[in-house]
Structure 1
């Protein structure tokens, strides 16, 4: 456990110096927040009620789907995994440390949006801040779990970038954070319900919280973790057959 804690701390320090993580977890989401926050509140003053949630969902989705998978694939899709085998490091260690490090960064970014939204755009604050952050944590965990599946399953960086974009773009366009889903054709609205961002956004803006939406995200999280476990077992088997 001590080794795991040190590994997470070390990974977090390495991520701070990563340009890729700086762009996907901080720079782009916060710039998007500053630009679109001004646009939304100018054109649609009522968007102040949902601005915090919509910008948070966008930032978390980008950091998870675009930022995390390449880092995982870089380890499990290259000879770096031989170093883990040679040093008798558990195969889950790298993905777990990357997962938890990304979780910390995304929560920091989300906290910045939470603090800046009312100060810069007079955005409405959640009535129950603790419950808001509990739902945010659930959404971040679900998003990162899906990102781990991508990184563990797809090792080709070109294919991984394409698949990550295929998941990320519907999460932004069809989740309701840019415009109401009621404006979408019915089949696109149905596709949007396959995106965790849709349910995460609902949980962040709903008062009171609908337990059915919590259940859906929890089920997605469980399924994603089971798939990650299966992929890690496959990787463990490949470890044993490495020359």
Structure 2
């Protein structure tokens, strides 16, 4: 347990010093929140009803899909992986510490939006706050599981950036946070349902627990988890 806590603490400190994590988990999401919230609430006064949810979806998606995968590559595509094997450290340890650290950072960023939006932009706070944060936790975990798949599957940083953008941009544009997904053509609306951001936004906006709305995120997480296990097994055989 001490080793796990030490690893998480160390990774958390490394992430704080990481320019990539700083930009993608804090700087850009919060800057986007400050600028776009003003625009949204000026053009669409009703946007205050879902402002917290939409800005949080954007911030979590950026931090998880763009910020986390490079940290995965730094471990599993370098000599650090060999050090794990040489010291009999399970390969999943790196994933575990990165995910926990990133989860904390994304929660902090989300909490800043949760507190600041009602004060600055008079946004409406979620009515069911415990359900909101439970759903947010699930959405962050699912988004991080996808980032783990990207980081393990793609070992080239340049290609990783491209593939991360391929996942991130449709997640934002087709999720309904910029404009109602009903405005999209049927094909694009259907494609948008592949990404967790669409379901995360739906869940964050719901007032009561509906188990069936959780199923898509659970399916995405299950598929990602299986892929992570397969990719770790492949990495183990290559070490």
Which category of TM-score, normalised to the shorter sequence, fits these structures? over 0.9
Task: Provide the rounded CA distance (Å) in 2 between the counterparts of 1:64 and 1:144.
Answer: 5
The reply to whether residue 231 of structure 1 matches residue 231 of structure 2 is yes
What is the TM-score when the length of structure 1 is the normalising length? 0.96
1:72 is matched with which residue? 72
- The alignment status of 1:125 with 2:125, answered yes or no, reads yes
1:148 is aligned to 148
SS of equivalent residue, structure 1 residue 27: helix
RMSD of the alignment, in Å? 0.9
**CA–CA separation in structure 2 for the residues paired with 1:60 and 1:82:** 31
CA shift, 1:209, in A, is 3.7
CA distance in structure 1 between the partners assigned to 2:214 and 2:63 by the alignment: 22
Tell me the SS of whatever aligns to 2:89.
Answer: coil
8 Å contact 2:128–2:208 — kept in the other structure? no
Partner Cα distance (1:216, 1:188) in 2: 17
Query: Pairwise mapping of residues 37-116 of structure 1 onto structure 2 (< 5 A)?
Result: 37-116=37-116
Tell me the distance in 2 between the aligned counterparts of 1:210 and 1:169: 28
Distance 2:67 2:147 in 1: 9
1:189-241 deviation digits (Å, cap 9, x = unpaired): 011010100000000012234322211111211221121111111111112xx
Bigger Cα displacement from structure 2, 84-93 vs 9-18: 84-93
Residue 32 of structure 1: CA displacement? Answer: 0.2
CA contact (8 A) 1:74 1:155 kept: no
Measure how far apart 1:126 and its partner are. 0.8
CA offset digits 1:125-181 (Å, max 9, x no partner): 111101100000000000000000000111011111100000000010000000001
Matches within 5 A, 1:17-56: 17-56=17-56
Matched residue SS, 2:207: coil
Q: How many pairs does the alignment contain?
A: 239
Please give the alpha-carbon distance, in whole angstroms, between the structure 2 residues aligned to 1:159 and 1:218: 28
Residue segments in structure 2 that go unaligned for 5+ positions in a row: none
